[in-house]
Amino acid sequence: MWSGLPKRSKNKMERPELPSYLKTKIDETASKMKVDKKKLLASATEEYLSAQVEPGECVGLVAAESIGEPGTQMTLNTFHFAGVAEMNVTVGLPRIIEVLDARKTISTPMMEIYLKSPYNKGKDIKKVALSLKETALEEVIKDLSISIADLTIELTLDKEKLKDISMMPVTVQKLIKAGVKELNMKIKDDLIILNLKGKDVHLNQLYKAKEKLKKVFIKGVKGIKQVLPVKKGDEFIIVTSGTNLKDILKMGTLIDTTKTTTNDIFEIHDVLGIEAARQTIIIELRKVIDSQGLNVDMRHIMLVADIMTNTGVIKGCTRYGVVGEKASVLARASFETPIRHITNATLHGEMDHLSSVVENVMINQPVPIGTGLPGLITKIKK
């Protein structure tokens, strides 16, 4: 007869112990609260053990169902925008799919830039924000035209706008010179006249040079397309659309490098490593799930993030990622593109050890989960 789990204390089994850091913490608390150390430790251990997952528990499937079930409810309110006003952020199911599939290019890359004191109290916040924004030449031009007769490009700078981003016309002129090397520059008062080097200049070339000119990088951080100072709690942060974590983190005097983050998992992976990427996956999933008012246990999300990152690279939950690396041929074939998997398995002479769930369902054998997991070992008397 099955009579529940064996009581660990009554059993002669070795009593499992708490990790040492928890023990010291409990000791501290006990002395602080002036309670019996032993009693507290005993009940804490009991709690700790009951929170542990039993052997044979099928955590992956439960995690999948626990995220998938509320996901079905999310399909309806998909195209709602949340977060910062004026900035368009993907939320809801599309965002979850984006994270879980580990898309390389996400639809709305975003950064949250935390600032060092005194900027985080709002000092020069607008100026700081604008200095981060990527500015191209075309944004500070008053007038840009091609003179067909002289085969020159004529350009006037907008001094007001230059003032906004605190730049001198001279520096801009230098940047133009460095940015488009095929042009000669002449300056007449405010007017900048540019003409192509060399003889036999064709109008087409001039047009191309003009387009190139427009995109000349003037100021800011590359990739930061929009900036928006926002008050979060009691400090000011800058929310951006477009990300460039690497370059932003270099500005250590201005920004708080410990808190600044982006929602691009791959960028985090490149700059900060795989552990940080795992944490970002968790945070990003959590954000969407919380914003929809759903309740999913943290450990399900952590498990998914672990599986996506445990090889050191980010794998999506797709046939190219997590599923594609399953050991079993039958399990892979039962997911997507069965013909491809079976032909490949044939070509390589793959062997299926039938060690997971799907394969055993297919051949009608007990699945190695729960009651199907333990085997019985007996000594046969001779």
Partner 1 sequence: MSEVYLNGKFVGDVDNGQAFTQQLIQERRKGTMSDLLNVFYDGITDEVTIESSKGRARRPLIVVKGGASLLTDAHVRSLQKNELSWKDLVSQGIIEVLDALEEEGALIAFSPTELTPEHTHLEIAPVTMLGLCTSLVPYANFNQSARLNAGSKNQKQALGFYCSNFSVRIDMDTNILHHPQMPIVNTIMHDVSNYAKHASGQNIIVAIMSYKGYNMEDAIILNRGSIDRGLGRSTYYRPAIAEELRYSGGLIDDITVPDKDVKGYKSERDYRLLEEDGIIFPEAAVNEGDVVIGKTSPPRFLSGMDEYSLASSTRRESSVSARHGEGGVVDFVLITENGEGNKLVQVRLRDERIPEIGDKFTSRHGQKGVVGLIVPQSDMPFSSSGIQPDLIFSPYGIPSRMTISHLIELVGGKTGALNGRFVDGTAFDAEAEMDLRKELLNLGFKENGEETLYNGVTGEQYQAQIYIGNMYYMKLKHMVANKLHSRARGPIQLLTRQPTEGRAKEGGLRLGEMEKDTFIAHGASLLLKERFSSDKVIVPVAEESGLIAVEDKYQKKCYCPLTGSTENISYIEISYAFKLFLDELKSMCIYPRLLLKNKF
Shortest reach from residue 348's CB to partner 1, in Å = 12
Q: Does 317 bind partner 1 (CB under 8 A)?
A: no
Q: Which of residues 322-361 bind partner 1 (CB under 8 A)?
A: 342, 346, 351, 357, 361
**Pairing between strand 183-188 and 152-157?**
unpaired
Instruction: Tell me the C-alpha distance between 122 and 111, whole Å.
Output: 18
Name which of 312 and 372 has its Cβ closer to partner 1: 372
- Before 368, cis peptide (omega within 30)? no
Q: Could you say which DSSP state residue 90 is in?
A: -
Q: Does 117 bind partner 1 (CB under 8 A)?
A: no
Cβ neighbours of 261 (radius 10 Å): 21
Beta sheet of 152-157, edge-to-edge order: 141-147, 152-157, 191-196, 183-188
- Residue 171: which H helix or E strand, with range? helix 169-179
* Total residues at interface with partner 1 (CB under 8 A): 25
Q: Does 228 bind partner 1 (CB under 8 A)?
A: no
Query: Which part of the chain contacts partner 1 (CB under 8 A), choosing from 20-28, 51-59, 139-147, 294-302?
Result: 51-59
Shortest reach from residue 293's CB to partner 1, in Å = 21
Shortest reach from residue 295's CB to partner 1, in Å = 18
The only residue of 17, 28, 46, 57 in contact with partner 1, by rule CB under 8 A:
57
Q: Does 58 bind partner 1 (CB under 8 A)?
A: yes
Name which of 56 and 273 has its Cβ closer to partner 1: 56
Cβ-based neighbours of 262, under 8 Å, separated by 6 or more: 109, 110, 111, 112, 243, 245, 268
Phi, psi for residue 98 in degrees, rounded to 5: -60, -45
Name which of 151 and 345 has its Cβ closer to partner 1: 345
Name which of 187 and 351 has its Cβ closer to partner 1: 351
Cβ neighbours of 345 (radius 10 Å): 17
Name which of 253 and 378 has its Cβ closer to partner 1: 378
Q: Does 53 bind partner 1 (CB under 8 A)?
A: no
Instruction: Tell me the C-alpha distance between 126 and 128, whole Å.
Output: 5
Shortest reach from residue 26's CB to partner 1, in Å = 32
Q: What is the largest CA-CA distance in the chain?
A: 110
Q: Which residues bind partner 1 (CB under 8 A)?
A: 56-58, 61-62, 65, 342, 346, 351, 357, 361-373, 375-376
